[in-house]
Amino acid sequence: MKRIFTVIGLGRFGFYVAKTLAELGAEVIAVDVDENKVKQISEIVTHAYVADALDEKALEEAGVFNADTAIVSIGQNVEASIFVVVILKEKGVKEIVAKAINQLHGKVLERLGVARVVYPEMETAIKLAHSLLLKGLIEEIPFAPGYSIFEIKTPENFHGKSLKELDLRKRYDITVLAVKKPDGKIVVNPSGDYVLDKEDTLLVLGNKEKMVEFVENE
């Protein structure tokens, strides 16, 4: 059985979540109170309905409660965002992801049992700032407060040096988890004797501030 998603609120964020899920083959029920938004997505997703998130009956008719995962992407209308999360919970929708416009909104959503609260603008802004500061950064996965896993190109000064020689753990509190060779081969948990090649891509775990320091110093 295909997983069913519902996206409630087709603003800048919700629209692209619904579009991407549908393009990757998922079944998507998209809902918005704005007829134009619904029209725009109707050709892309499985079902698209004009419905107010404050109208339980309309949501029922749209089949929203049959979803395995609901993405609540109503931002500015906080009241509607909270109300629909409460109904989705009551109706037993297993997984709820919701967008928050500020910390208070996010806290309320968490208290209501939302599995994952996203802050799209803040998250994108932080990622952008990191990518501007961290030359060679390919991908960042936030791991714990202050810490991330970074996929990064080998800094120039490291070419031809062994991990033991670089002593990254002591100098920068950075752990190299894996190295990807240009041919796609992966060296997991490389030993101290591993010598970095200029074409290597590194997967490292580290503190963000230390990471910036490390890239700037090298």
The residues binding ligand ADP (CB under 6 A) are: 9-14, 32-34, 37, 52-54, 73-77, 80
* b (16+ CB within 10 A) / e for 81-116: bbbbbebbeeeebeebbbbbbeeebbebbeebebee
Residues 6+ apart with CB under 8 A from 121: none
- Residue 120 or 206 having the CB closest to ligand ADP: 120
Report d(CA 14, CA 80) in Å as an integer.
15
What residue number has its CB nearest to ligand ADP?
Answer: 11
- Residue 64 or 176 having the CB closest to ligand ADP: 64
Alpha helix (H) residue ranges in the chain: 12-23, 35-42, 56-62, 78-90, 103-111, 120-133, 163-166, 168-172, 208-217
Rounded least distance, CB 89 to ligand ADP, Å: 17
- Residue 18 or 202 having the CB closest to ligand ADP: 18
Virtual CA dihedral for 166, 204, 130, 13, nearest 10 degrees? 170
Rounded least distance, CB 130 to ligand ADP, Å: 22
3-state helix, strand, coil in the chain (%, to 5): 40, 30, 30
Rounded least distance, CB 74 to ligand ADP, Å: 4
- Residue 14 or 155 having the CB closest to ligand ADP: 14
The two tokens of residue 15 are: 């629209």
- Residue 8 or 211 having the CB closest to ligand ADP: 8
Rounded least distance, CB 9 to ligand ADP, Å: 3
- Residue 80 or 87 having the CB closest to ligand ADP: 80
Rounded least distance, CB 26 to ligand ADP, Å: 19
Contact indicator for 214, 168 with CB cutoff of 8 Å: yes
Virtual CA dihedral for 94, 104, 111, 126, nearest 10 degrees? 50
